[in-house]
Amino acid sequence: MTLIAPSILSADFAGLAEQVRLAAEAGADWIHVDVMDGRFVPNITMGFVVVEALKRVTELPLDVHLMIVEPERYVERFVEAGADVVTIHAEATVHVQRTLQMIRAAGAKAGLAVNPATPLDWFDDVWDDLDLALLMSVNPGFGGQRFIHRSFQRLAELRRRRGEAGAKALIEVDGGVGPDNAGELARLGADVLVAGSAVFNDRAPVSENISALRHAIEG
């Protein structure tokens, strides 16, 4: 089964609790929280206080995606704030394995993300320390970007590597995911699909958007 993780980056922040409630009611599995620092990516978003606030209004797991440099300085505080999964970027720290271990020691699931042009080799040495492997299918920084087609191949390759390693980490795809590609991504073995602008937009209600994704996945 492929999980759906709506990214609140595209939600209406003036009514965040309500947006999350609508997503949960419509069957979202996780809530994806994009933390950006204006250094690793050219955008600044949210931090601890938003994670804490979300924790009070939803029982869904909070999937916190850190697009920040030196994430080792902050991972424990994100776990304290209520993150259930904390994902760091391979490109953002010189201490990937140590930071993954810090996340688990703090009591959360540990994730590693890679940008679209970063070799998948990063995963090969850390499967034992990993609960989630996040494949970026856009360059991180903004919602609403177009899916990079080569990500299909990278997903298949990552799936192969995970099998070879006998690892259990979930594979998550993030960026440009919508009803048009969710079926193929699920078929290729994505365990979790992040969707921001495909869930929170002006075109249709959140419930319809999540149903459309669900149908694509099951179709």
Residue tagged active-site, from 34, 37, 63, 131: 34
**Cβ 182 vs Cβ 146: under 8 Å:** no
Fill in the amino acid letter for 20.
V
Does residue number 54 form part of the binding site for ligand DX5 (CB under 6 A)?
Answer: no
Cβ 176 to ligand DX5, closest distance in Å? 5
Stretch near ligand DX5 under the rule CB under 6 A, chosen from 7-15, 49-57, 103-111, 159-167: 7-15
Look up 125 and say whether it is catalytic: no
Torsion angle of the four alpha carbons 27, 24, 201, 81, in this order, in degrees rounded to the nearest 10: -130
Residue tagged active-site, from 29, 37, 131, 174: 174
Stretch near Zn ion under the rule CB under 5 A, chosen from 15-23, 78-86, 125-133, 174-182: 174-182
**Contacts of 214 by beta carbon, 8 Å cutoff, 6+ apart:** 4, 27
Does residue number 143 form part of the binding site for ligand DX5 (CB under 6 A)?
Answer: yes
Query: Alpha-carbon distance 109 to 187, whole Å?
Result: 25
Cβ 136 to ligand DX5, closest distance in Å? 7
Stretch near ligand DX5 under the rule CB under 6 A, chosen from 46-54, 87-95, 175-183, 202-210: 175-183
Beta bridge partners of 114: 135
Handedness of CA 212, 198, 58, 17 (dihedral sign): negative
Question: Where do runs of H (alpha helix) occur along the chain?
Answer: 16-25, 48-57, 75-81, 96-106, 121-124, 151-165, 182-187, 206-218
Does residue number 174 form part of the binding site for Zn ion (CB under 5 A)?
Answer: yes
Instruction: Return the number of the residue (34 or 72) whose C-beta is nearest Zn ion.
Output: 34
Does residue number 47 form part of the binding site for ligand DX5 (CB under 6 A)?
Answer: no
Look up 191 and say whether it is catalytic: no
Q: To which residue do tokens 């960026």 refer?
A: 175
Site residues (CB under 5 A) for Zn ion, limited to 39-68: 65
Instruction: Return the number of the residue (100 or 199) whose C-beta is nearest ligand DX5.
Output: 199
Query: Alpha-carbon distance 99 to 60, whole Å?
Result: 24
By annotation, the residues acting in catalysis are 34, 174
Where on the chain is the footprint of ligand DX5 (CB under 6 A)? 7, 9-10, 32, 34, 65, 138, 140-145, 174-177, 194-198
